[in-house]
Structure formats: C-alpha cells, structure tokens
Structure 1
Amino acid sequence: MDIAADEISLFLDLDGTLIDIAPRPDAVHVPDDLVTLLGRLQQRLGGAVAVISGRPLTDLSRLLPRCPVPLVAEHGAIFKLPPGYQFKLGARYCVPEAMAAFVRGALGALDGVIIEEKQSCLTVHFRLAPEQKPVVKAALERAIDRWPTFRISEAKMALELRPRGLDKGTAVRRLMRFSPFQGRKPIFIGDDVTDEDGIRACLLLGGRGMRVPQDFGGGPSSVREWLWRIASQSAPQTAQCPP
C-alpha cells in the first residue's frame, strides 16, 4: 500500500510507538530529533498530524517541548494546540479525589507498584512487580463498584481507571471534524491495547490502523524511520507502507 502525504492525517501514540518503553514512565529517552521529525511531518502534511497519548499533558509538554503539532493527553481528555490550529477542544473529565484516595489507600504501599494520577484517569503500573497484577485488579474492581462511571482499561503492565466514553477513538473523531485533518484518510499508529480504539476509529472513517509489533517489527526506531520517509516526500510522491 502506497501512502501519499497530501492525502492522510496521522495520529501517533507516544510510548512504544515514537519512543521506547522504560521500566518507569519518568525514565523514557526521547530521541534528540523527534520534535524535528514532528515539525517536518507537520509541514509536509499541512498540519494534519497529532500525538495522542495516555500520558498527562505535563509529561507530553516536558518530553516534547515546543512541539509543533497538537498534543492529546490522557486518551483524549485534554488537547494542547500550538499556533496555527484554529479550533478549541477543552477538557471534559476529572478523577474524583475520593476515588484517587481510595486507590492510594489500597495500593500505595505495594512495592514495585506505581500510581500515576492524572486529571481524567488513574493508572497503576506494575511493570516492576508483575506478580501484583491480581491485587491491583481487585482493588480497581472495588473502585468501579463505588464509581460506576469509570471502567478498567488494560495496558502493557498497567491497569487504568478511565471514564466511560473516553478513549483514543473519541480523540480521533473529534480532530477529524476540523481542518487540517478533515477530508483526509486517517492513519493511527500504536502499539498497545489502548490504541485499538484509535485504530478502529480510523478504519470506520475510511483510513487505516498500523500496529507497531506487526507493521514495524523493529519497534519505535522503525516507526520513526518510516515517518522520516513520509516527511521527506516531494509532492506528489508516495511512500511504500510497511507490509
């Protein structure tokens, strides 16, 4: 499948897609040229590029400083739009403090378990202690019994409490309503279960989903290499999509 830069919108996950996953969320390494790559893509695609992540906006702003493309945080709860994007999309979700306190009380003392509190979601990482997953899941199930407007979402070595109706597919559909995304074929690139909603949204909108393990066997470095080829296209050339 050939990809023409003038015809697509790109929606990119961050961890596991653009950068390698680390044992702790705060230990990731961002390649020096990643923001430059996003800027080149922004220019070549006429602005139709966005990073959609489960991370909080403070993380995205720190990891991708002066990013020239929209940053979508917490699976679509928060949008940060750089100059040149004329529409406005505000936050609509919030974690109840009582729920956060309940999870901290149930899991905060477990060795190797990291509780990541965000504005709209609450993520519990157990990559450093995978044997704790049953304990984490049981505690989160007790939480949603008390706060049924939330659901448990699985991720790589993590479980997350997330408001029902909040996912990366919702973020894609919201962005696709506006220029410069509107009227293009959307492509979502991701590596995790949480990216499947974004992939499904793109498929339903006539686009495509690409999964890092299957479509980019080399991981994030292969994704970035392919994106550089897209960014370097001279109109109206096409780039060959990974098989």
Structure 2
Amino acid sequence: MLNSESPQTNDGPDASQPLDWLVRTLTREPQTWALFLDIDGTLIDLAPSPDDIVVPPDLSDHLTSVSGHLGGALALVTGRALPYADRLFQPHMFPIAGLHGSERRTADGTVSRVAATDAFDEVKSALQAAAGRWPGVLIEDKGAAVAAHYRQAQEHRADVEEAMEYYLLQAGPDFTLQRGKMVFEIRPARADKGGALQSYLGEEPFKGRRPIAIGDDVTDEAMFKVVNELNGHSIRVAETAGDTAARSIVASAADIRQALADIADAARGLPNPEDASQKGKRS
C-alpha cells in the first residue's frame, strides 16, 4: 500500500493536497509535463453499464483547453475501444490509447491497432451465447477484446470468472484475462497501459517531458509503475488508499474534473510557452 509513505519526487505534491499541486504545476510549467488520463472512473463517473455513463457537458472543452496549454501533450489511455472513446468527447479528438494500448492514435492522427481474428470472433460469439445463463451480465464486444460486466449481477461473479478463464484458453496464448472493477476482459496480451504511455513519450509532443498518470483501477497500475520509474507522478482515484503503486490518492472523478477546469481557467490569458519561444527566435 502506497500513500503518504510512498517515495516522492523532490518536487512532488504533499500527499494531502495532490490536486493543488497538479493545478499549480501544470499551470506554471506546461512545457515540462505530459498528462495521461484514464476515462471511466477517472474523468467520468462509473455507471451500471458502459452505455449508461454521462459525460459532463463541459468536460471535452476543459480537456481541449488543458491539452492546448500543454502544447498537445495530453493523451487518454483507456480500456475503451478507440471509436467509442471518440464518441464520448466529440467533436474533439485527442491522442488515445484504446483497449489498454492494443490500439493507439498518435498526436498526428496515425492509428495502429490489433485486428480481431475470425477465431477470436468465434470466441466472442460463444461467450455471448453463454451469457444468457447470467441475467444482468453484459457482454461488451470491443473488436480485438471482449468484456463481461457483472456490476448488475454480482451474484454471477464466480460463474463469469470461470467462463472467462475457459474462453481465454480458447482464445489462445496471444490473449490475457484482465480483471477490473466488476468486469473481466479478454484482451491482447502484448499491450498494457504502461507500454502505451511509454510509446507516447517517444513521440512529439510528449517526448522529453515528465509524465503524470491518473487512473482508478488495477489496469492503471501499469501506468503508475512506468511514471514512477521516470520521475513523474501517479494519482489514483479511490475513496481509500489501497494496494497501489500510485503516489497520491484523490477521492473522486469529480475532483479530477474540477482540477482540469481549474487548470483550463488558470491558463486563460497566460502566454503560451511555445508562442513565446517562437517570438524569441523571430526577434
């Protein structure tokens, strides 16, 4: 368990005020940092089913403002499929790593993804048929991944887990079983959120910056470990500190949204550091 006792960078936040630090740091040093954000449970409140979530009307605009202030060095790293994530924030489009990094859009718009095979499509169909035995369990087809959500049928958790372990064997060694909040997911084994974050850090405009990662689930731990190793900072959204590599804990997605709104507000009227740099070169 890591919270106030976890190792901090010398300029990291007070464990009791991580969001004050986040707002102050990203407002004052936008050219130094890159921001990586999970979506569900981090930017958006969790809901009974994936299609029931509500995107606050000003969230996309705040993300766009913060991204602009950071020179574009903001990416969403999610278990959602990329097209679904895009629909949440339309008309804005951000660099997004979807399916835990199995598909990824870079800042210049280039998209790479793992394609679903015919064999995996058969696995998904068999799982969908099996789910008829578990009323309330929702099967989400993500293309190259498939998730079984049991939030509305928690009495079937053991049955769902056993079935997902069976279908994982049918999917083969290129896949892994990801456990999350009220969900089991079969996804490509070669990708995780930490690897996606590292890929961004090798590209402009993220290259050379220190990373900040914010997430709420076990799938985000891979990001936390990477940013900690790179002298960045990791924040987990949770009501209580638990077993996590994150260096700070905040209580809710609403707190993250407010911090983003504060950064967007504070950035208004401030000179863009990239513009200032270009002006210096021209004079």
Structure 2 residue aligned with 1:30: 55
The aligned runs of 1:48-59 (5 Å cut-off) are: 48-59=73-84
Secondary structure at 1:153's aligned position in 2?
A: strand
Secondary structure at 1:166's aligned position in 2?
A: coil
Structure 2 residue 112 is matched with structure 1 residue 90: yes
The aligned runs of 1:82-231 (5 Å cut-off) are: 85-86=107-108, 88-94=110-116, 96-146=120-170, 147-213=172-238, 214=241, 215=248, 217-231=250-264
Gaps of 5+ in 1: 237-243
The answer to whether the Cα contact below 8 Å between 2:134 and 2:153 also exists between their aligned partners in 1 is no
Aligned mates of 1:217, 1:118 — CA distance in 2: 29
Structure 2 residue 79 is matched with structure 1 residue 70: no
Deviation, 1:56, is 1.6
The answer to whether the Cα contact below 8 Å between 1:120 and 1:163 also exists between their aligned partners in 2 is yes
How many residues in Structure 1 have an aligned counterpart in Structure 2? Answer: 234
Aligned mates of 1:22, 1:87 — CA distance in 2: 30
The answer to whether the Cα contact below 8 Å between 2:95 and 2:109 also exists between their aligned partners in 1 is no
Aligned mates of 1:10, 1:118 — CA distance in 2: 25
RMSD in angstroms over aligned alpha carbons? Answer: 2.1
**In structure 2, do the counterparts of structure 1 residues 65 and 11 end up closer, same or farther at CA, with 3 Å as the change threshold?**
same
Q: Which moved more, 1:217-226 or 1:87-96?
A: 87-96
Deviation, 1:63, is 1.1
Structure 2 residue aligned with 1:21: 46
Gaps of 5+ in 2: 1-12, 14-20, 242-247, 273-283
Aligned mates of 1:36, 1:89 — CA distance in 2: 23
Greater Rg over alpha carbons, structure? 2
Deviation, 1:68, is 4.1
**4+ long deviations beyond 3 Å:** 214-218, 233-236
Secondary structure at 2:112's aligned position in 1?
A: coil
**In structure 2, do the counterparts of structure 1 residues 103 and 225 end up closer, same or farther at CA, with 3 Å as the change threshold?**
same
The aligned runs of 1:4-19 (5 Å cut-off) are: 4-19=29-44
Secondary structure at 1:101's aligned position in 2?
A: helix
Q: Which amino acid aligns with 1:60?
A: A
